[in-house]
Amino acid sequence: MKSVILPAYNRNIIRAMLGLKVEETEMPIPGENDIIIKTHAAPVNPSDIAFIQGVYNIVKPIPTVPGFEASGMVVNAGKNGSHLVGNKVSCFVQDDNSGTWSEFIIANIADVIELKDEMDMDQAACFTVNPFTAYAMFDIVLQRKSTAIIQNASGGQVANFIRRMADENGIKVIDIVRKEETASMLRSKGASYVIVETDEDFEEKLQDMCTKLQPTVAFDAVGGNLGGIMFNALSEDSELVVYGGLSGKGLSDLNVMDVIFDNKIVSGFNLMDWKSDIGKDEFERISLLLQDKFIAGDYVTEIGGTTSLENIVKGLRGYIADMSKGKLLVKP
Ligand SMILES: NC(=O)c1ccc[n+]([C@@H]2O[C@H](COP(=O)([O-])OP(=O)(O)OC[C@H]3O[C@@H](n4cnc5c(N)ncnc54)[C@H](OP(=O)(O)O)[C@@H]3O)[C@@H](O)[C@H]2O)c1
């Protein structure tokens, strides 16, 4: 089978990408808890970019096959996964011997979601991570009874789902982006409170919107001083939830007095921890609920383009240049 191979990690993303090659690899043999998936599509996520740079929290022995998420059809299985053969699945795999930018994927049955027949397989490729992340984080908004939220990286797919869930619940969203064209795109889709972090009067605009809307939850995917600015703009009894570090910089410039005197907190969100905390049955319930939303067309992951395994470098360059366009799907 053909797979994309990462021969070496490199912090320089251009060099890391240029090192990628396509090679014939051994067809994996399933252990008793494994299945083999014929890949339909595998997305490129920011975590994949961090992975090939060697700066993600998963570091595998190299050479290795990148990619953590995918959709496809089960074509072979060990004895505990035989009931899945012939079924459509989404998977999220992080084991050393797995990687989704490949014609076939080996996955443990615990890392797989069985799909309803009506699920679109491109949407299914991006199903296991972002929709659940948004669902879980949005629950914090509901628990806190917040009537407004702030988020950054607002052109991204997690942010899109958060905005959709907020809309369903009558909750206002202050969206922060880093490019004017992303702001225009969001406004054209109906976002009402969009600001660009590089504008000279950015902090003033953010403060004005916060005074008006009183958000008590903020979602930070960027870090650096933007996370600090968002935290400081929140009123008392608020929470900044950090779920990504796209800037590669530590969270900075938080107002210490707010933490001490105003009952404001910073928390972190990690999907894997949430998944193990809620347990298998609750995860299954939420999975079915989210699948129904996708099937009805209420929730959609924007797809920005597709690439073959062979054109992976060109595809990655396009994704990195304009991540807000939507996910890049790797289709063997
Ligand atoms: N903690 C968890 O469990 C969890 C789960 C899922 C996702 N995540 C994280 O959530 C974040 C968003 O993921 P996604 O899949 O929604 O992303 P995505 O759809 O691929 O889009 C990324 C977005 O981030 C923006 N961006 C990239 N680098 C940025 C920077 N340095 N400063 C400001 N904005 C930047 C991009 O804007 P441009 O168009 O301007 O490039 C784009 O809008 C990632 O950090 C991801 O790792 C975390």
Q: Among 140, 116, 113, 127, which Cα is nearest to 45's?
A: 127
269 lines ligand 1 (CB under 6 A): yes
Fold annotation for 130-272: Rossmann fold (3.40.50)
pLDDT at 142: 98
Q: How far apart are CA 66 and CA 62, in angstroms?
A: 10
**Given the CA of residue 324, which atom of ligand 1 is nearest to it?**
39
- Does the pTM exceed 0.95? yes
Q: How far apart are CA 9 and CA 100, in angstroms?
A: 17
**Given the CA of residue 47, which atom of ligand 1 is nearest to it?**
47
pLDDT at 12: 96
pLDDT at 37: 98
Q: Phi-psi category of 285—alpha, beta or left, where left has phi over 0 and alpha has psi -120 to 50?
A: alpha
Identify whether the C-beta of residue 244 lies closer than 8 Å to the C-beta of residue 222: yes
Output the CA 261–ligand 1 centroid distance in Å.
32
Instruction: Count CA atoms closer than 13 A to 61's CA, side-chain side.
Output: 2
- Please name every residue paired with 307 in a beta bridge, in sequence order, or none if there are none: 330
Q: Phi-psi category of 153—alpha, beta or left, where left has phi over 0 and alpha has psi -120 to 50?
A: left
Q: Which protein residue has the closest C-alpha to ligand 1 atom 29?
A: 246
Per-residue tokens: 297: 């067309």
226 lines ligand 1 (CB under 6 A): no
Q: Which parts of the chain register pLDDT below 50?
A: none
- List, by residue range, all CATH 3.40.50.720 domains of the chain: 130-272
Distances, alpha carbon 306 to alpha carbons 222, 277, 315, 318, in Å: 26, 34, 7, 10
173 lines ligand 1 (CB under 6 A): no
Output the CA 31–ligand 1 centroid distance in Å.
35
Report the interhelical angle of 130-143 vs 271-278 (nearest 10°): 70
Q: Among 15, 16, 117, which Cα is nearest to 64's?
A: 16
> The tokens 């298998």 sit on which residue?
280
pLDDT at 293: 98
Q: Which protein residue has the closest C-alpha to ligand 1 atom 10?
A: 244
Fold annotation for 2-127+301-330: Quinone Oxidoreductase; Chain A, domain 1 (3.90.180)
Per-residue tokens: 109: 């049955």
Identify whether the C-beta of residue 252 lies closer than 8 Å to the C-beta of residue 226: no
Q: How far apart are CA 71 and CA 112, in angstroms?
A: 9
Per-residue tokens: 134: 């948004």
Residue 181: enclosing H or E segment and its boundaries?
A: helix 180-188
- Please name every residue paired with 265 in a beta bridge, in sequence order, or none if there are none: 239
pLDDT at 54: 97
Per-residue tokens: 185: 């795109």
Q: How far apart are CA 45 and CA 68, in angstroms?
A: 9
Q: How far apart are CA 171 and CA 194, in angstroms?
A: 15
- List, by residue range, all CATH 3.90.180.10 domains of the chain: 2-127+301-330
Q: How many residues are there in the chain?
A: 332
322 lines ligand 1 (CB under 6 A): yes
